[in-house]
Amino acid sequence: IHALGERLLQIHHAGEMLENIEKAINAHPDVLTARFVKTERRHGLCHVRDPEKSVQPFVVTREGEPIKRHEKKSSVVEMLLPVLNNTDEENALYIKMRHFKNHLNRDDLKVVQSLLAQLNIALDNLRYVKETADLVEELTRSRVREEYVEQLRNTNKQLDQKNKELRRLFRELQEKESQLIHSEKMASLGHLVAGISHELNNPISFIYANMKILNTYLDDLQKELETVDEDELRKRMEEQITELRSIIEDSARGSLAVKQIVKDLKSFSRLDQAEYKSIRPSELVDTCLKMMKTQIGDRVEVLRQIEFDEPVLCNPGQLNQVIINLMTNAVQAMQYEGTLIVRTEKSEDAWSLSVADSGPGIPAEVLPNIFDPFFTTKDVDQGTGLGLSVSHTIIEKHGGKITAENRAGGGAVFRIILPLGDKLKHG
């Protein structure tokens, strides 16, 4: 019964709702019969419209309250529970059962009444939908449009009131979803920054050291100018100038390395995340490979297979986030040793980007749930279980899909499939 209550709003036929409830209650071992009936009240009695006339009238106690009847020395209990709806459907639930210790108690009765309350809401919703559909049909046929327009307006007002809360919850869900995507991206950036700090530290260190040496050479030149004759001075100056030029070249290369690393970081964490731009798939792949350089390490062979590289319209920042997540998972699955394959392809009206690894693959029992929020097979301190779920959301916002499967030769492959041209859906 509890599970049925959650499914009622998904059923779109009143008869099917009543049939499901009858079936659920009749499953109780002591219930002899349970069915929905029509009733009418006359002279303080509630009469059940029964073709077989097998149900005697009930004495009405309080309006809208359940009615229970148990004759003395009888092993049978009868109950009549009202269904408070304004339709032509059956308006009461008749239950007849054996009178044992485990018959429906007060708590059981509350559960059934709660189910009937949910039935009322579901029937009201069906009625509103039917009235709206009927009004629309009449408006297309009737000459007196104003009268039906007013009726339709009143019905829509009722629907609007019922949907206000749903719209509010949907807006909150969208906000939480955006926050989740941002939080997961910040988590990815946190992992990358550890490697990037090492990448930046090396060029900055030798730039700093070279600058100190450069100052020392300049000091020596100044002293030499004061103490040495002209020929010897020229010779030493030429040697030191050569050294200075070499140092400056090293410093320039170091500066360019730092500049490139910062450029790659900006490319990944673009501030204009809400914008869709034209970009080549190879640019996305190369940016992510540069960002992952430290995490990938020397024991992972990277195979870059770019078979499709025409400009595509997408949100580069968000796609970078997805690709980084897939690469990180692949490298961790291989325990930082193996082969990483990044491949782009094109079909008739879509293009795809796949990330494959040579790891142990994905267990069969894990595959169906791999994109569920908070689902993870990693240790507690290694993952939140949100990365693939967020990636799935981002790709859906692009109008595409993301799949996961095991490779025939071993390992796993995740494939992003996105539409081309006018089929792109702006998330």
Helix/strand/coil (H, E, C) string of 239-302? HHHHHHHHHHHHHHHHHHHHHHHHHHHHHHCCCCCCCCEEECHHHHHHHHHHHCHHHHCCCEEE
Residue ranges of domains in the chain? 2-127, 183-268, 277-423
Give backbone dihedrals phi and psi of 230, rounded to 5 degrees, phi first.
Answer: -65, -45
Give backbone dihedrals phi and psi of 300, rounded to 5 degrees, phi first.
Answer: -110, 125
Average pLDDT over residues 327-332: 93
Choose the weakest-confidence range: 21-25, 152-156, 396-400. 152-156
- Select the more confidently predicted residue: 90 or 238: 238
> Residue 222 burial by CB count (10 A; 0-12/13-18/19+): exposed, middle or buried?
exposed
Q: HSE (CB half, 13 Å, CA atoms) of 212?
A: 5
- ∠ CA 84-90-93, nearest 5°, is 75
Is 183-268 a domain of CATH 1.10.3470? no
Choose the weakest-confidence range: 10-24, 51-65, 288-302. 51-65
- Select the more confidently predicted residue: 158 or 411: 411
- Position 272 scores a pLDDT of 43
Strands of the sheet containing 412-419, edge to edge, are: 300-306, 338-346, 350-357, 412-419, 401-406
Assigned fold of 2-127: Beta-Lactamase (3.30.450)
Superfamily of domain 277-423: Histidine kinase-like ATPase, C-terminal domain (3.30.565.10)
Whether the CB-CB separation of 329 and 388 falls below 8 Å is answered with yes
Mean pLDDT across the chain: 77
pLDDT tens digits, 345-357:
998 889 999 999 9
